[in-house]
A and B are shown apart, each in its own frame.
Chain A
Amino acid sequence: MLDAVDLEAEKPRGPRLRGLLTLAALASGPAGAEIRFNFPEPVTPIARETLAIHNEFMLIITVLFVAVFAIMIYSMIRHRKSVGHEPVKFSGPRGAAQWFWALVPFAILLFIDFVLMGIPAVKAIVEMEDTKTRADMVLKVTGMQWKWQYEYPDSGIRFVSTMSTPRDQITNAEAKGEHYLLEVDNPVVLPVNKKVRILLTSTDVIHTWWVPQFGVKRDAIPGFLRETWVKIEKPGTYRGQCAELCGKDHGFMPVVVHAVPEPEYLAWVEQQKAAAQAAASGADRAWSRDELMAAGQDVYSKQCVACHQPNGQGLPPAFPPLAGSKVVGTPLLAPDGRAVKDSHVDRVLNGKPGTAMMAYRNTLSDVELAAVITYERNSFGNTLGDMIQPAQIKALRQEAKQ
């Protein structure tokens, strides 16, 4: 559906250099200190501001910490019984001078809270929340268990991004790659130096979209739209993760963003549109069963496998098995060619409200839907022997529109 290979080839040096630095840090310790002890390198105005604020705050609280506990430790050394210190008897400030010195720390604290920290904080909040002013484009992000769907409303591009780290690396059966857990099949591509307004929602539970180098983190809430924005200033590949516990594969839904110069971005958009065109035209020809099965296996392994498992056994009760499933066993279509309510086709296209089963009509192409339905009906010991053509899915879609 999406060809990211050439992008991978042109990947800027930044991350690779960082990887080297991390290795160096492993070998020599302090070399990679900058990366490992603080925020990663900021690449948006917000991230830069956040890092500056963070550094300022850390300085303030370190000074406070040292000052306060220096006094305490001084007292612990000087005012101990073993050095013969006699206790005094005061239990509160006495006289104007003592009151003055008792109140000074609080005046300082109020100044720190509401001026030194408060003013830059308010400034940053206002900037962070201003998603609309001079926004150049919109990216819609939809969280779903456990993948992200990205939509570009301006150009009609839409795709799902799932983790591409092989299962064997996770189970320690093979060596882990450089970007273990932080790599996806279809990365988001965004132009640099453009203000991108990001709209977030979710189809099931709350997810959180987070790329540390962008300095933004925002929840994707089912049934609501939330927004944030990024303006990436440097081309590169940026990696993040879902940050809100969203079920069993919460740790396995990375975010990968390719930031590229605008001409490259525009070329990518054209390429995506052409690919979508090709996929749509594929819906009009008749597909052989083997073609559908092969394509279906591919779709299944990306979209369905997390819940329904590689063997189709699911993880009941939350995620029902497909092997021997009653729903899969329903007839494909009604005799008049319409979809039957609660049939296999209906469930894949329209999901099941109130469960993790989402409506794939919004996510997959006609070919992909036909392929995966055919695949599910003829795998995991299911031997229904029938198949559905992309053209039939296309017809169902048009019927639903009317």
Chain B
Amino acid sequence: MSIATTVHGEHPAEHYPGGLLRWLTTTNHKDIGTMYLLFSLVMFFVGGLMILLVRAELFQPGLQLMKPEFFNQLIGVHALVMIFAALMPAATGFANWMIPLMIGAPDMALPRLNNWGFWLLPPAATLLTLPFVLALFGVGDGAIATGWTFYAPLSVQGGLGVDFAILAVHILGISSIMGSINIIVTIFNMRAPGMTMMKLPLFAWGWLITAFLLIATLPVLAGAVTMLLTDRHFGTHFFDAAGGGDPILFQHLFWFFGHPEVYILLLPVWGLMPHVLATFSRKPTYGYTAQVYGFIAIGLLSVIVWAHHFFTVGMPVPALIYFMFSTMAISVPLAVLFFCWIATMWKGSMTFETPMLFAVGFIVLFGIAGLTGLVLADVAADAQYHHSYFVVAHFHYALFAGGIMGVMTGVYYWLPKWTGHMYSERLGKLHFWLTVVSFNLTFIPQFFLGLAGMPRRIPDYALQFAEFNAISTVGAFILGISQLLFAWNIWSCVRGGPKAEARAWEGAEGLEWELSSPPPHHSWETQPVVK
């Protein structure tokens, strides 16, 4: 079989098998993108359910619903699921769907690799959650209970859940690396004539930097967890001081991956924001070049700041000062992005459809994440914030308001393009307001909890923390239930709705809006030329 035929087929629409086999064997970027997005949506609810159990336990002081062991499993698996199985696949789904459309390519450059990359995800997610099920049948003591960070020696001590998680992380890593390779080579080799790198849509630029970060850091994570595995089972002492190792080495390796991971999750979102803002402001993107260099600068800085995640382990003063200032330096390129986003809106002709609402909500709430991140960088104040609920609130502003609300922006923005139907604007707006209000209701109290001295990852707490925890739990449940609206809106949009035009939004610019909604099974049968 030749790849050229699939792309070049004379009767493209008849070229694929029907039913389940179509999805198992598909090499079509749109089919794979759809599968990524659906998988992500499902896992978003799985991870959400876990944290609702946690919040229910934390509703009142005392142990009500579960043992601390199970609590510890839930918080760690919640994070791993949300990061690796919800956010990352959502971004990859966007990339699969949109990058070929945006750069005028007929498909991703390596379609079979693409298929493989996706189909590694369901087994990995199964491995991650399987220990919960096994424990029900009396096998092992449940899932990984170390938090998502795997810190040795706690993870060396842990049960079989840790081994399952290590295996799952390896598979997820391989999947992400294959996805990244595909995106890099597609962007480098498949662009339409005339589309120079500096004409590349910002979404593709954001993903390109993400892909490079994944390639640079995932092998390090894989190495770290492999060392953990050999420490657990094969008598090595990478992280055991008694054998000449060092538990802190694990934290260095983990966060060398872990900090760039934050930008891996966020860069695709930062890439899509200018598209949405420009569309609904009916105005060209402000500062395209500045944003490209902003992405690159953030990518480079992100790999040299990792140790700010563990200032409390005790480091030499010069190291503390270096990591503090390098972290603060990230605020500069990040401020460039904020400046460009607001300047894009400035003197436009704005309308506030659901994607624009989410984009604005994203900017404001992600602003809180950025600003609290700036104070967290300060070592002295960090001694108080660290390991406390202040940090929990901070990174949920970054990863829920920044990551997930960013993904929701993209979903609402592109749903008409993907399905050919308009979603319900009324439901979308309701979803937005419920999400924003309940999100803040959940996480603003957590800032105060952290300042008052509540450590994170505790199943029970002192009485002085009771009120804020109760408020936070109420917020979390509203937040969780509101997301059903999101799923319902997507479902009804897939099923039907008003017909979407090729250019679904009045102010939308770019190659992707030249193709019909939904696009033909094979995008860009004829090659577009960018002038």
Q: Are A79 and B240 in contact (CB under 8 A)?
A: no
7 sampled A-B residue pairs with Cβ under 8 A: A81-B282, A88-B283, A121-B381, A176-B463, A226-B313, A245-B72, A248-B69
Q: Are A89 and B284 in contact (CB under 8 A)?
A: yes
Q: Are A37 and B451 in contact (CB under 8 A)?
A: yes
Q: Are A79 and B349 in contact (CB under 8 A)?
A: yes
Contact of B154 among A57, A122, A129, A245 (CB under 8 A): A245
Interface band, chain B: 35 or more
A80 an interface residue at 8 Å Cβ cutoff? Answer: yes
Q: A38-B451, A40-B453, A243-B386 are in contact. Are A81 and B349 (CB under 8 A)?
A: yes
| Chain B nearest CB, measured from A300 CB (Å) | 20
B135 an interface residue at 8 Å Cβ cutoff? Answer: no
Q: Are B461 and A251 in contact (CB under 8 A)?
A: yes
Q: Are B374 and A218 in contact (CB under 8 A)?
A: no
Which of B199-207, B259-267, B333-341, B522-530 is the contact stretch?
Answer: B333-341
Q: Which residues of B contact A49 (CB under 8 A)?
A: 380
A337 an interface residue at 8 Å Cβ cutoff? Answer: no
Q: A53-B380, A68-B338 are in contact. Are A75 and B287 (CB under 8 A)?
A: no
Give complex CA distance A316, B310 in Å.
31
| Chain B nearest CB, measured from A56 CB (Å) | 9
Give complex CA distance A82, B281 in Å.
12
Q: Which residues of B contact A76 (CB under 8 A)?
A: 345, 350, 352, 360
Q: Are A106 and B325 in contact (CB under 8 A)?
A: no
Q: A85-B347, A208-B312, A240-B453 are in contact. Are A247 and B157 (CB under 8 A)?
A: yes
Q: Are B381 and A109 in contact (CB under 8 A)?
A: no
| Chain A nearest CB, measured from B310 CB (Å) | 8
| Chain B nearest CB, measured from A73 CB (Å) | 9
Give complex CA distance A215, B388 in Å.
13
Q: A40-B452, A221-B247 are in contact. Are A318 and B157 (CB under 8 A)?
A: yes
Contact of B241 among A79, A178, A223 (CB under 8 A): A223
Contact of A212 among B247, B313, B379, B384 (CB under 8 A): B384
Interface residues as binary, A74-101 with B (CB distance below 8 Å gives 1, 0 otherwise): 0110011110011111111100000000
B514 an interface residue at 8 Å Cβ cutoff? Answer: no
| Chain B nearest CB, measured from A239 CB (Å) | 8
Question: Number of A-B pairs whose CB atoms are under 8 Å?
Answer: 299
Q: Are A68 and B342 in contact (CB under 8 A)?
A: yes
Give complex CA distance A247, B153 in Å.
11
Q: Are A80 and B351 in contact (CB under 8 A)?
A: yes
Give complex CA distance A172, B466 in Å.
14
Give complex CA distance A49, B151 in Å.
31
Which of B31-39, B172-180, B364-372 is the contact stretch?
Answer: B364-372
Give complex CA distance A102, B351 in Å.
25
Q: Which residues of A contact B158 (CB under 8 A)?
A: 318
Q: Are A223 and B242 in contact (CB under 8 A)?
A: yes
A159 an interface residue at 8 Å Cβ cutoff? Answer: no
Q: Are A212 and B284 in contact (CB under 8 A)?
A: no
Q: Are B387 and A125 in contact (CB under 8 A)?
A: no
Q: Are A204 and B153 in contact (CB under 8 A)?
A: yes
Q: Are A91 and B371 in contact (CB under 8 A)?
A: no
Give complex CA distance A244, B457 in Å.
8
Q: Which residues of B contact A85 (CB under 8 A)?
A: 347-350
Q: Are A125 and B324 in contact (CB under 8 A)?
A: yes
Q: Are A129 and B457 in contact (CB under 8 A)?
A: no
Q: Are B351 and A223 in contact (CB under 8 A)?
A: no
Contact of B345 among A79, A109, A170 (CB under 8 A): A79
For window 205-258 of chain A, which residues contact chain B by CB distance below 8 Å?
A: 205-206, 208, 210, 212, 215-219, 221-224, 226-228, 239-252
Q: Which residues of A contact B72 (CB under 8 A)?
A: 245, 247-248, 250
Interface residues as binary, A350-386 with B (CB distance below 8 Å gives 1, 0 otherwise): 0001111000000000000000000000000000000
Q: A91-B285, A169-B62 are in contact. Are A227 and B314 (CB under 8 A)?
A: yes
Q: Are A54 and B381 in contact (CB under 8 A)?
A: yes
Interface residues as binary, B138-158 with A (CB distance below 8 Å gives 1, 0 otherwise): 000100011100010110011
B50 an interface residue at 8 Å Cβ cutoff? Answer: no
Interface residues as binary, B266-290 with A (CB distance below 8 Å gives 1, 0 otherwise): 0000000000000001111111111
| Chain A nearest CB, measured from B509 CB (Å) | 11
A26 an interface residue at 8 Å Cβ cutoff? Answer: yes
Q: Which of A38, A40, A87, A124 has the most chain B CB within a 10 Å cutoff?
A: A87
Q: Which residues of B contact A356 (CB under 8 A)?
A: 157
| Chain B nearest CB, measured from A261 CB (Å) | 25
Which of A2-10, A133-141, A179-187 is the contact stretch?
Answer: A179-187
Q: Are A206 and B314 in contact (CB under 8 A)?
A: no
Give complex CA distance A222, B237 in Å.
13
Give complex CA distance A179, B461 in Å.
10
Q: Are A128 and B141 in contact (CB under 8 A)?
A: no
The 10 closest A-B pairs by CB, nearest first: A223-B241, A251-B458, A124-B380, A212-B453, A243-B387, A226-B314, A61-B371, A91-B284, A87-B349, A57-B375
A343 an interface residue at 8 Å Cβ cutoff? Answer: no
A58 an interface residue at 8 Å Cβ cutoff? Answer: yes
Q: Are B383 and A128 in contact (CB under 8 A)?
A: yes
Q: Are A87 and B281 in contact (CB under 8 A)?
A: yes
Q: Which residues of A contact B67 (CB under 8 A)?
A: 248
Q: Are B375 and A22 in contact (CB under 8 A)?
A: no
For window 457-499 of chain B, which residues contact chain A by CB distance below 8 Å?
A: 457-464, 467-468
Q: Are B451 and A50 in contact (CB under 8 A)?
A: no
Q: Are A86 and B349 in contact (CB under 8 A)?
A: yes
